[in-house]
Structure 1
Amino acid sequence: MDVIETPIPDVKLIKPKVFGDERGFFMETWNAQVFAEAGIDATFVQDNHSRSVQHTLRGLHYQIRQPQGKLVRVTRGEVFDVAVDLRKSSPTFGQWVGEVLTEKNQHQLWVPPGFAHGFYVMSDTADFQYKCTDFYAPKHERSIRWDDSTLAIDWPITADPLVSDKDRQGTWFKQAECFE
């Protein structure tokens, strides 16, 4: 398993070793010892799975209390996945990282607590799976607008994105609650 630093060092791109033949493939998606050696010492309490149609944009989500670290991957389709640093004390505060995750490249992204997260579906459909380090807490959930000009995320959008009402009403970055 290769663990690669992104431009925001706390966000990691993970390239699992994939063993395949004419029968299919095998890969290890989580190994606490290997991840800890790579600086990702996480305990997961919840797994989630979403399916979305093309041009769906979900995010940018985070929990201001009970912040969740997320290990994300795509098991079907292709997405552009984004993490935004919301830690005021971080030298990368307000910066974002984006990675293409696909069922073919089988890459994963580690999004630590203290980050907003979102993704845009580039394929016909996408199955998105993620492990979380804390439980979903709706009363602490926050959303920053995906199209915030301060963040200037370079989404690979090819058509008007399908966005939930909740995400459409998200907060602008300058007014968002952030982490110390």
Structure 2
Amino acid sequence: MSDGTCDSAIGEDGYQEIFGIDGKVVCISGSSRGLGKSLATCFGRLGAKVVLSSHNSEELAGAEAELAGQGIEVAAIRSDVRSHQDCKALISGTVDRFGQIDVMICNAGTDVIKPAHSFEEAEWDEIVDTNLRGYYYCAKFSAQAMFDRGGGSIIMTSSVASSLGIPGLTVYAATKGGVNQ
């Protein structure tokens, strides 16, 4: 799926039918590029309605156009997950647009690669606010919307750095460890 395809998930073995998400609404934070965009493409190709989000409006518009060009039912909502209000607006915007949210994928992330002893307070705050706090608030608000419908799924992407020491990724690793917990 790393190349943006999901052909192996669309097999003749019945898995798509059993685990199908056709018509489900999937919201993905940090989905204007990279893993998030690949996930959005795959879910969209499997029939889900996809909500993209990013703090980068230009990248977000480009990703939305690309997925729409593939026939995917897609909406884009600008959201900076460091903001409690933006997380809340992302979920309410998803529900306003599609009437529900079935899957929330907390994926937005950032890092600063440098030795642990040289982090500035602002760098620490940016990483923690994006990678941990943003995940929490996206999960919190989506869970509240899902309760009204009887449930849903919340998925949080993480990293091998959460359990394996990688030079220069101290704060990033700590946030991903928090996600795993």
Same fold (TM over 0.5): no
How would you bin the TM-score normalised by the shorter chain? under 0.3
The structure carrying a bigger strand percent of its residues is 1
Larger Rg: 2
The structure carrying a bigger helix percent of its residues is 2
Q: TM-score, normalised by structure 2?
A: 0.27
Q: TM-score, normalised by structure 1?
A: 0.27
